[in-house]
Amino acid sequence: MSSHAVVATGVEKSFDGETVLEGVDLTVEAGETLVVMGPNGVGKSVFLSCLAGSERPSSGSVEVLGRPANGRHGDVSLLLQDALCLERLTGRENIAFYRRLRPGFTDEWREYASRLDIAADLEKRVEDYSGGMRRKLELTIALSVDAPIYVLDEPTAALDLAVIQEVHALLREKRRAGKTVVIASHLPMDADVADRLAFLTADGIVATGTPEALLESVPPVLTTADTNARTLATVVDGGRLYESDGSVRGLLTRGTSEDEADAIAEEHGLERTPATYTDLFNYQTNRSPPTNETADRGQ
């Protein structure tokens, strides 16, 4: 029996002649939590819809548990942004609606509503919810469905840090229960919950691996005060700078050794700092194409 929960091969999707996804390949192992990361506008939501079977690829294929994804909705609990709740209904009425609609809906919604701090707002209409309240309700509904696979689009969007940590705890519980979880996110902190990361850009999946392995692939990181930003821009890859709490950060080019990075930092009055998930996100989604020299060195 295959260990693959989801296999996407050559997935392409177009709307009215405009290509949103082109040649995307991805495999999700049974029981793993995979976080698909990438900037807004690269088709993460569309790709997740294809994985869940709610969108049919224009070309390519998606298999869920060994069979075509289309029509396999009972195997997948899907959460898309702002596409689940009915605005004219209250939170409680939305829960009741999905309880009737989905045979696998469980009473766990009570626990999730409490843990996500939405229980006191269930008598309000969704049209009166804030973005964060709507996301909490959507998560309560999606996670209450007993399914082997959860496909969640931006599950932590519009949530504060404490709630994000609770969402991560819930997702870890799903993994411990043997569930497969696929998340799309543009928030680097969501890498904390991943067994494996996949970075999706306009060029398709550009990197996959464990968070630890991918962090090790990030070139040396330099940082300095805002007042010294111009100096930093002269030495980092592509001159790209990233704001970071009153300072700026930049990544050296691929293949730069630790000794070379130390020398550059000392010469220009810059600081070395360990790579973070934010640095990883910036590297994978903004990196320059390899030159012949850096291609020979590898990542």
Whether 103 has a pLDDT exceeding 70, the answer reads: yes
pLDDT in tens, 50-88: 999 999 999 999 999 999 897 656 799 999 987 889 999
pLDDT in tens, 168-208: 999 999 999 999 999 999 999 999 999 999 999 999 999 99
53-57, 74-78, 243-247, 295-299 — which is least confidently predicted?
Answer: 295-299
Handedness of CA 80, 173, 284, 158 (dihedral sign): positive
Split at pLDDT 50, 70, 90, the class of 3 is confident
Torsion on CA atoms 180, 185, 189, 190, rounded to nearest 10: -10
Confidence (pLDDT) at 289: 53
pLDDT in tens, 145-169: 999 999 999 999 999 999 999 999 9
Ramachandran sector of residue 149 (left: φ over 0; alpha: ψ -120 to 50; beta: rest): beta
C-alpha distances in angstroms, 198 versus 24, 280, 290?
Answer: 11, 11, 19
Confidence (pLDDT) at 292: 37
pTM for the full model? Answer: 0.91
pLDDT in tens, 125-140: 999 999 999 999 999 9
Confidence (pLDDT) at 298: 33
Split at pLDDT 50, 70, 90, the class of 294 is very low
* Spans of all domains in the chain: 4-213, 217-294
Asked if CATH classification 3.40.50.300 holds for the domain at 4-213, the reply, yes or no, is: yes
Whether 295 has a pLDDT exceeding 70, the answer reads: no
pLDDT in tens, 35-55: 999 998 899 999 999 999 999
Q: What is the CA radius of gyration of the chain?
A: 21
